[in-house]
Amino acid sequence: MAYMLELDVDEYGMLDGGEEIFPVKVSDHDRRRAYPPLGQPVEFTWEQGDSEVRPNVFYYPYIDNFVCDVSAYEILSTSPGCIHTIATGELERKNLFLVQVTTIIDCIVDLQGSVIQSYPSYEILAFPAFRASKRHAMARRIFRVPENLSLIFVGVELKRSLDEAGIRGFRYLPVDWVN
């Protein structure tokens, strides 16, 4: 099993730290490449969500990745080469990491079984179906797929580790397998 990740903004809120800290305009950056390190710590502020519970993983609106605390960072770092640290920072004297998911796994999406959203001039992968034969390639990873680089996925073993540690902030949507 694999899961599409979403950050639960309604439940847990989001962070702010300013857009001016980015050396390259985020919308111009190629998601297939690691974003340049910021070189300075970020002083984050937190806008709480409905639960008023502090998560381990935060939405950060200026970049399509996320910010995580030490607990989440340590677990995500067990997925070798999958995340890139853009910056460190603090929220209320607790260390945080602004990270980017850099691993892209090719040839796992079955387009026939996927949901494709059509527009007048293009189509985009809205929700994938993965090839069952590729399970081993994603079990312990956090990754993207080339068909839609804005989506982030996590394999079943890595999700289990996040769940067992009580990591809050993500919503998981199961991805179908096709043979």
- Reply yes or no on whether the pLDDT at 10 is more than 90: yes
- In DSSP terms, 64 is beta-bridged to none
Q: Residue 94 — very low, low, confident or very high, per pLDDT cuts 50/70/90? A: very high
What is the model's pLDDT at position 29? 80
- Reply yes or no on whether the pLDDT at 153 is more than 80: yes
- Reply yes or no on whether the pLDDT at 25 is more than 80: no
Mean pLDDT, the chain, whole residue set:
91
Residue pLDDT, tens place only, 104-146: 999 999 888 888 888 888 888 888 889 988 888 889 999 999 9
Residue pLDDT, tens place only, 36-58: 888 889 999 999 999 999 999 99
Instruction: Report the alpha-carbon distance of residue 101 to residue 156 in Å, rounded.
Output: 17
Instruction: Report the alpha-carbon distance of residue 94 to residue 114 in Å, rounded.
Output: 40
- In DSSP terms, 142 is beta-bridged to 154
What is the model's pLDDT at position 173? 95
The residue type at 36: P
Task: Report which of 118, 75, 112, 128 is spatially closest to residue 97, judged by C-alpha positions.
Answer: 75
Instruction: Report the alpha-carbon distance of residue 81 to residue 168 in Å, rounded.
Output: 23
Which one has a higher pLDDT value, 44 or 81? 44
Question: Locate tokens 């043979």: which residue?
Answer: 179
Q: Residue 86 — very low, low, confident or very high, per pLDDT cuts 50/70/90? A: very high
Q: Are 147 and 125 in contact (CB under 8 A)?
A: yes
